[in-house]
Every structure is written in structure tokens, then in C-alpha cells.
Amino acid sequence: MGVIDLAISEQDIKSIVQSVLSGMGISEVGAAAGSDQPKIRQKGIFVHIEDAIAAAKAAQKEIQPMPLEFREKIIANIRKKTLENAKLFAELGVEETKMGNVGHKILKHQLVAEKTPGTEDLSTVAWSGDRGLTLVEQGPFGVIGAVTPSTNPSETVICNSIGMLAAGNAVVFAPHPAAKKVSNLAIDMVNRASVEVGGPENLAVAVENPTMDVSKVIFGHKDISLLVATGGPGVVTTVLSSGKRAIGAGAGNPPVLVDETANIAKAAEDIVNGCTFDNNLPCIAEKEVVAVHSIADELIFYMKQTGCYFASDEEVDKLVATVFTEKNGKRILNRQCVGRSAKVLLEKIGVEVGNEIRCIIFEGAKEHPLISEELMMPILGIVRVKDVDEGIETAVWLEHGNRHSAHMHSTNVNNLTRYGKALDTAIFVKNGPSYAALGFGGEGYPTFTIASRTGEGLTSAKTFTKSRRCVMCDALCIR
């Protein structure tokens, strides 16, 4: 999908930024000399990208020789500040991008603060014997260039910062321009957390005005040795073509298959909860349903009971005309609809509903544009199939080879196994909402950078390391 272009004036946002900053104990918003533009002096935020990269390089040189315990001290303070400011980040994120839901964004920040792995994620492999002791350690790359999306902006910045710092790196961010305020505020918070406990400033940096040209400098810079892109297919392909080592966390279109053995009432509730989380912005969220014919009506019945509005054919046509727009003869997403609630989307087509409506559902063929395209809004098309075999085939088609996420509701382990093998995705949630994959109501750790294209899966500190062999000859084996 294309770049989200949602402008918000500096003046509009100033009061929110001011309130966020004061909530964080910062009072550094003032007018730049000789200008009406408010000038926000934030830690780690530079005017020129070359200065930002040089500062990150210097900070990394400081942090690398420090004890792991010290990295943990900084990370503990990042966690604390994230928890303290979760509401402020959530409010600013929604205000700036006009996408998502404050309550769910608070939960996402809390999840990142509490469960993103730190230095404990790094491990050592050892061999010892007559010829001595050999270790393989996970060492830092140095300075990482990280592109972040508009959909989970500060969540991704904070999560990446914790993992990258735990591994001993500094990071130069290229935040989505439509989410630069909240992203840069998160970068400022990371640096304040470090400085407060005696660590270096500039462990995370960015520029005031991130643009494609700024990203180009990052992608080609000699002092950046690893690129991490979280976003749509455009940016992932760009970093993978950069000639540098790159981790690509790209787009998905996660199908959820329900077979005749599932607990249908629970499946309906889980699917609607997963799909509507932060107005469907997470890339892992259920984007369409594939239902075996014999239970499809029952599933729709329960989905209606759990806050779904069943759209008529005419309303579905109106949604198509509203949700998509055209650019250069190509159908693209109307960004005024991405991350909006079901109620707002229905209002756009002239349908008034109450706050209990969380999701829009309809039945259609798998080729229907509202089903086959990644929408990132709470619209769930339901594709009826004759049996589980056709269901698996349909889900594989709908996932488009992204190898990102796919989910299923079933109590038949053979069906679940066949689905998991056929879909071959980084994430496969069974009998729960998609967000269970992020450790929210499921086991395991969270991340908002799921490396689907390059295969690392759910990234964490260890993903941002390189292997280093450390050999002691003829000593230190004490067996």
C-alpha cells in the first residue's frame, strides 16, 4: 500500500505536544528565534540527517563497552516512561494520524513497555574441550537504520529502541512523515530515559522532517550497517535492494479460516475482537474470513451478536466507492478511511449506527476488492467455501504469498496442521484473536516489527545482532 499522507498543522499539534511534554516533565517548547514556527528541542532530533547519524555513531561507541547491566538500567527507565506516558502517546498518535483508537493504543504501549525482551534475549553458544573454549556471542551491528510506519508509530519506535539497544546498537529512525510528531516524541523519551540514568544521549535519533530523500541517505550511508523496514511493500523492496543487510517487515492480508469443528460462538467473538483492535491497524489482524458452508450462517449470526453490521449489496458497493480511490489509473486505498472505526466508515456511506457496532461484515467472493486487498479498517468480508480443503486453498490465495499471518478456528488438529503448513506464515494463531500472537492473551513476547519477507519472524534483541566467534586456545576448559 502507498504512503499515508495525513497532514496536521504544527499549530494544531502544538498544544497536544506541549501537554505530552509537560506530562513527561519537559518544558522545552518555544518559538524559534525570528520565526512564528514553534521550535521543539527534543533529544535525538536533528535538522540534518548527517548530524543525526554522526551523533548515533558516537552514542553507540559509548554504549558498546558499557556492562549489559547498564543497558538494562536504561531499558528499565524506557519501560517506566512508556508506561507513564502510554495515554499521552496514544492520544497524540490518534490526533496526528487520525487513525486507530486511544484505548487500544494505550494497551499497545503497555504491552511494549512490559513485555519487549531486553538483554535476556541474547544468548551464547559454547564449545569446550582439550583445545580450549570457543564462544559464539551475539554482538551489535553498530548503527541501525529503521523505517517505521504510521499505523503503530510510537509503539514501533519504542519497541525497536528497546531491542536494538539491548543488543548494543544505536538507531537512526526514518519515521513515517504523517506520524513524525509522535515518533520523534518517542525518540526524545528514549534519550531522556538514557540520560536520566547516566547513559548517552542520541541512542535513537531522527530528523525533524523525515522525507524519502532523508531515507535515501540512511539507506546508502557507510556508517549504517543494518536496515530494518516496517511498512508496506514499497519500503521493504527498497531496503532489500539497498545492497546492505536488511530486515523486511512487510504487508500482510491475514485470512481467518473457520471450519465445522470450531466453537462457532467463541470464533465469532475472537475474530471480531482481533479485527477491531486499534481499528484493524495491526498488520497481523484478521482481514477477511473464510467459513465452511455448514457453519457460515451460524458464524454470521454470532458475529452480528458481537457488534457486527451486515452490509447489503448496495452498501457494499458504496463502501467500495468510498474506501478506494484512483491514482494513475490504479486503485489505491483512501487514506481517509484507513484506521477509522466501523461507525465512522458507515457514516461515510450514509448509514447511522450506535456505538455498539464495531465491525462491518458482508459475504463475497475471494476476488472482491474489499476482501482481497489489505484494508486496515474494520471491514470483514466472509468467503463461503464448501469444505476445509477449499477453505485452505482460498486462504492461501488471499494471503498473496506475503507469508505474514494467518489464523484458524478448529478443533481438528489435522486441519490445523494442514492449514499451518499450507499458509507458511510467520504467525499462525489458533482458536484465539490475532493479537494473541503479540503475547496479548497468548504466550510469548510482543513486537510491532514482524519480519515476514525476510524470515526472522517476530523481531527482538537477538534479531539485531551479528554472530561473533571468540576462541581461547588450549585453556579455560576445566572439565
Contact positions vs ligand NAD (CB under 6 A)? 1-4, 147-152, 174-177, 212, 215, 230-232, 234-235, 238, 249-252, 283, 374, 448-450, 452
Helix H or strand E encompassing 131: none
Q: Which is nearer to ligand NAD, 79 or 403 (CB)?
A: 403
Least distance to ligand NAD, CB of residue 134, Å = 35
* Residue 235: CB minimum distance to ligand NAD, A: 3
Q: Between 415 and 454, whose beta carbon lies closer to ligand NAD?
A: 454
What separation, in Å, do the N-terminal and C-terminal C-alpha atoms of the chain show? 58
- Of 52, 33, 34, the C-alpha closest to 44 is 52
Residues 69 and 75: their CA atoms lie apart, in Å, by: 10
- Which stretches does DSSP call E strand in 231-378? 245-249, 255-258, 288-292, 308-310, 324-327, 330-333, 359-363
Q: Please give the backbone phi and psi of residue 471, each rounded to the nearest 5 degrees, phi first.
A: -115, 125
- What CA dihedral angle connects 51, 52, 54 and 60, to 10 degrees? 160
Paired residues of 128 in beta bridges: 133
Nearer to ligand NAD among residue 227 and residue 262 (C-beta): 227
Closest distance to ligand NAD from the beta carbon of 112 (Å):
13
Judge whether 419 and 429 are in contact, CB under 8 Å. Answer: no
Q: Residue 148 in contact with residue 157, Cβ under 8 Å?
A: yes
Nearest residue to the partner ligand NAD, using Cβ: 231
Work out how close the CB of 331 gets to ligand NAD at its nearest, in angstroms, rounded to a whole number. Answer: 15
Closer to ligand NAD by Cβ: residue 273 or 449? 449
CB of 374 to ligand NAD, least distance (A): 6
Give the shortest CB-74-to-ligand NAD separation in angstroms.
24
Nearer of residues 140 and 250 to ligand NAD, judged by Cβ: 250
Q: Provide the minimum distance between the beta carbon of 216 and ligand NAD in the complex, in angstroms, as a whole number.
A: 7
φ and ψ at 410, to 5 degrees? -170, 155
Q: Work out the number of other CB atoms within 10 angstroms of the CB of residue 12.
A: 11
Question: Taking CA 285 as the corner, what is the angle to CA 279 and CA 290, rounded to the nearest 5 degrees?
Answer: 115
Nearest to ligand NAD of 149, 378 (CB atom): 149
Q: How far is the CB of 209 from ligand NAD (least distance, A)?
A: 12
Min dist CB 214 to ligand NAD, Å, is: 9
Kindly tell me which of 2 and 25 has the beta carbon lying closer to ligand NAD: 2
| Closest of 289, 340, 335 to residue 310, by C-alpha | 289
Q: What are phi and psi of 467, to 5 degrees?
A: -75, 135
Strand 29-31 relative to strand 359-363: parallel, antiparallel, unpaired? unpaired
Q: At what angle do helices 68-84 and 153-166 cross, to 10 degrees?
A: 160
| Rounded Cα distance, 200 and 194, in Å | 6
8 A C-beta contact, residue 146 and residue 218: no
Give the nearer residue to ligand NAD in terms of CB position, either 152 or 169: 152
Q: Minimum distance from CB of 284 to ligand NAD (Å)?
A: 8
- Give 461's contacts (C-beta < 8 A, 6+ positions apart): 117, 118, 119, 121, 122, 162, 163, 164, 166, 167
Residue closer to ligand NAD by CB (options 117, 199) is 117
As measured in angstroms, the least distance from the Cβ of 232 to ligand NAD is 3
Query: In the complex, what is the shortest distance from the CB of residue 187 to ligand NAD, in angstroms, rounded to a whole number?
Result: 13
Q: Which is nearer to ligand NAD, 370 or 450 (CB)?
A: 450
Instruction: Tell me which DSSP letter residue 459 carries.
Output: -
> What is the C-alpha separation between 222 and 108, in angstroms, rounded?
34
Contact 433, 277 (CB under 8 A): yes
Task: Considering the complex, state which of residue 56 and residue 228 has its C-beta at the smaller distance from ligand NAD.
Answer: 228
User: Which lies closer to ligand NAD via its Cβ, residue 300 or residue 370?
Assistant: 370
- Tell me how far CA of residue 435 lies from CA of 11, 69, 85, 162, 274, in angstroms: 35, 31, 22, 20, 6
Question: In this structure, which amino acid lies at residue 75?
Answer: I
